[in-house]
């Protein structure tokens, strides 16, 4: 009898290979095939030529770029390990190529790609400009079936369907003239890090993961060996929606047993980044370490702060503080030795970005960075206020591009934890000090608003609850992460704060977004110790302790009931509505929560 993979592949070849042969010159959405002997159209922006000289120098318009392979060369062990993925030996491989070479390939083969006036590679992700959580699947396997929190976050996929998707992806990738492979690490602590391999067909994707993973030294690359996890990105080619478990042409599927992730039908690079995070969210608790959707920085005295929050709540912005060292902007692990960053770079939102408001991020946009889905003029000057493609415009850059980054990205145990929320109702205070029970209640609840553009179809803030401030990436039940956090908070006597970066004065559409300068002032007051010694007053319904004064913030802003611009009755109705949503959401966790955590819920 034929092996399962071969049997499934044989059954699907009649349809799959015919589609692949017809699509053998498939490029990103809207692109046209470019002949190897056809000159490139367009010019490099004048302002960017000083940055892109190396990239332009490698382009020969009379023939394809040289088959670049970084030192060390493709050793027999590398070829063997890559063959296990399904890559044919006849395919040209670009392994851990330099940024300059990836620029050259992207400019030649990926239409719409340019170099910005600041030197960043500007790329388009096609139709998908955000993650597709409804298309995420986890393979139901004997070894992990009892570990996974099955439901709307982790939808089941059969091993057979995963094998079909894997074969479809490999059939597509093996028709390409060139593939890009990046081998790197997830996790700065050598005790916990994992080896990750990315196989893709776009130079943009390779450069993106070069920035987001931890880049190996030449010696580490030479001795890389078998990866612990492999991402197979064939996002230019759609999934077969008739495959069992598929509901659209997009599929993002993870097999913990096979140690692989397969992407079909989406070219949004963020799927790879969050795929690695999902893997770490599974592996780290098994190793006794707590994985966290948080940013992290360190003060001059070594005091570490964690910032929890979903995309758009301010994790990246508020942790990029010129007075503190940046450990990381999005994904961390808390061990018995302290905290470490999972990533080797940052993935910052750039909508309305300016040098005045976010100078560290603005200055990180230069040669080697990847700008996604931004609008620019003929000179490569980016208009960061333009939302015509998406509101989810972003930049991926190595963490070293932040001048005050701490490398290696490792710190001690946290002194402060900040739970960031983006309240679309306008009734949560800009800052509140939480008790231990309240901290666990709000961590498990994970209230925020989905910000426009972070997910497909979201065009305005929508109130939502995301367990552990990272529900889309959880693998275990939320209570497991919460229990681990409670133990560490108690062990290290951590201060916990609820900080609202959302609306004030009214609901979304009526009130205003809380000023970034106020949010920064609050974080400064936390780090200086001002809020630890401040006077507090009780804030009704949610039973929160809010400060009466914070330096550089009007007192009226600190109390939502005072900042409210509507009637008292409207405020009471609105806060009661939000409290009711909290109660309804927490019902699913009540049976596993302790009485003191339940008592921390809003009082209706």
pTM: 0.85
**Residues 273-283: what's their mean pLDDT?**
98
- What is the pLDDT at residue 455? 59
Query: Is there a catalytic annotation at residue 330?
Result: yes
Task: Tell me how far apart the alpha carbons of residues 598 and 583 are, in angstroms, rounded to a whole number.
Answer: 10
Phi/psi zone of residue 231: left (φ > 0), alpha (ψ -120 to 50 degrees), beta? Answer: beta
Q: Is the pLDDT of residue 62 over 90?
A: no
Beta strand ranges found along 62-173 (DSSP E): 92-95, 114-115, 121-123, 136-139, 155-157
Q: Which two tokens stand for residue 258?
A: 């096979």
- What is the pLDDT at residue 457? 63
If you average pLDDT over every residue of the chain, what do you get? 87
At which residue do the structure tokens 């939302």 appear? Answer: 387
Query: Is there a catalytic annotation at residue 189?
Result: no
- What is the pLDDT at residue 167? 97
Query: Is there a catalytic annotation at residue 415?
Result: no
- What is the pLDDT at residue 71? 40
**Residues 231-258: what's their mean pLDDT?**
97
**Residues 522-551: what's their mean pLDDT?**
97
Given 394, 406, 450, 488, which residue is catalytic? 394
Given 291, 316, 335, 350, which residue is catalytic? 316
Given 52, 330, 376, 406, which residue is catalytic? 330
Task: Tell me how far apart the 2 most distant CA atoms of the chain are, in Å.
Answer: 76
**Residues 229-253: what's their mean pLDDT?**
97
Out of 12-21, 248-257, 386-395, 573-582, least confident range: 12-21
Query: Is there a catalytic annotation at residue 315?
Result: yes
Q: Is the pLDDT of residue 508 over 90?
A: no
Share of the chain above pLDDT 70, in %: 86
- pLDDT tens per residue across span 340-364: 999 999 999 999 999 998 899 999 9
Query: Is there a catalytic annotation at residue 293?
Result: yes
- What is the pLDDT at residue 527? 97
Given 124, 136, 293, 332, which residue is catalytic? 293
Handedness of CA 351, 352, 358, 364 (dihedral sign): positive
Task: Tell me how far apart the alpha carbons of residues 551 and 547 are, in angstroms, rounded to a whole number.
Answer: 11
Q: Which of 281, 325, 339 is nearest to 475 (CA)?
A: 281
Contact assessment for residue 30 and residue 112, using Cβ atoms and an 8 Å cutoff: yes
Residues 6+ apart with CB under 8 A from 21: 175
Query: Is there a catalytic annotation at residue 356?
Result: no
């Amino acid at each position: 009898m034929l092996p399962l993979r071969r049997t499934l592949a044989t059954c699907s070849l009649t349809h799959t290979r015919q589609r692949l042969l017809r699509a053998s010159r498939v490029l990103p959405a809207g692109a046209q095939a470019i002949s190897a002997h056809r000159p490139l159209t367009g010019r490099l922006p004048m302002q960017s030529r000083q940055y892109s000289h190396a990239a332009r120098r490698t382009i020969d318009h009379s023939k394809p770029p040289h088959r670049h392979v970084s030192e060390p060369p493709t050793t027999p062990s590398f070829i063997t390990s890559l063959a296990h993925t399904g890559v044919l030996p006849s395919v040209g491989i670009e392994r851990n190529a330099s940024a300059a070479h990836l620029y050259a390939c992207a400019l030649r083969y990926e239409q719409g790609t340019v170099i910005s006036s600041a030197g960043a590679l500007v790329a388009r992700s096609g139709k998908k400009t955000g993650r597709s959580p409804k298309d995420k699947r986890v393979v139901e396997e004997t070894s992990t079936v009892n570990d996974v929190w099955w439901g709307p976050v982790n939808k089941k996929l059969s091993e057979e369907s995963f094998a079909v998707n894997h074969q479809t992806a490999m059939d597509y990738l093996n028709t390409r003239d060139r593939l890009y492979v990046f081998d790197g690490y997830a996790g700065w602590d050598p005790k916990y890090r994992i080896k990750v391999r990315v196989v893709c067909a776009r130079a943009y994707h390779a450069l993106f993961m070069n920035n987001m993973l931890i880049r190996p030294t030449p010696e580490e690359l030479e001795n890389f060996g078998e990866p612990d996890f492999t991402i197979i990105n064939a996002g230019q080619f759609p999934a077969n929606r008739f495959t069992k478990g598929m509901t659209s042409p997009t599929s993002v599927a993870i097999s913990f047993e096979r140690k692989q992730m397969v992407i079909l039908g989406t070219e949004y690079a963020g799927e790879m980044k969050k795929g690695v995070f999902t893997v770490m969210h599974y592996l780290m608790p098994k190793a006794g370490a707590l994985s966290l959707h948080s940013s992290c920085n360190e003060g001059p005295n070594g005091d570490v702060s964690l910032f929890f929050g979903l995309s758009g709540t301010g994790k990246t912005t508020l942790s990029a503080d010129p007075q503190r060292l940046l450990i990381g902007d999005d994904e961390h692990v808390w061990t018995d030795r302290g905290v470490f960053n999972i990533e080797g770079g940052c993935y910052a939102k750039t909508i309305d970005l300016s040098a005045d408001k976010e100078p560290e991020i603005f200055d990180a946009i230069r040669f080697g960075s990847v700008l996604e889905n931004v609008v620019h003029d003929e000179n490569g000057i980016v208009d960061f206020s333009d939302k015509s493609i998406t509101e989810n415009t972003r930049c991926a850059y190595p963490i070293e591009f932040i001048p005050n980054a701490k490398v290696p990205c490792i710190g001690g145990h946290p002194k402060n934890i900040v739970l960031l929320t983006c309240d679309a109702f306008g009734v949560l205070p800009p800052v509140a000090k939480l008790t231990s029970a309240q901290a666990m209640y709000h961590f498990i609840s994970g209230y925020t608003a989905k910000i426009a553009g972070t997910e497909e179809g979201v065009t305005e803030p929508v109130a939502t609850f995301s367990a552990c401030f990272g529900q889309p990436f959880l693998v275990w039940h939320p209570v497991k992460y919460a229990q681990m956090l409670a133990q560490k908070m108690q062990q290290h006597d951590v201060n916990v704060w609820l900080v609202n970066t959302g609306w004030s004065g009214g609901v979304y559409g009526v009130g205003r977004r809380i000023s970034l300068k106020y949010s920064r002032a609050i974080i400064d007051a936390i780090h200086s110790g001002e809020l630890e010694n401040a006077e507090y007053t009780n804030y009704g319904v949610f039973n929160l302790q809010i400060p009466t004064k914070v330096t550089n913030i009007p007192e009226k802003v600190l109390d939502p009931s005072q900042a409210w611009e509507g009637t008292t009755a409207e405020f009471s109705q609105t806060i009661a509505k939000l409290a009711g949503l909290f109660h309804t959401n927490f019902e699913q966790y009540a049976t596993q929560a302790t009485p003191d955590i339940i008592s921390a819920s809003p009082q209706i």
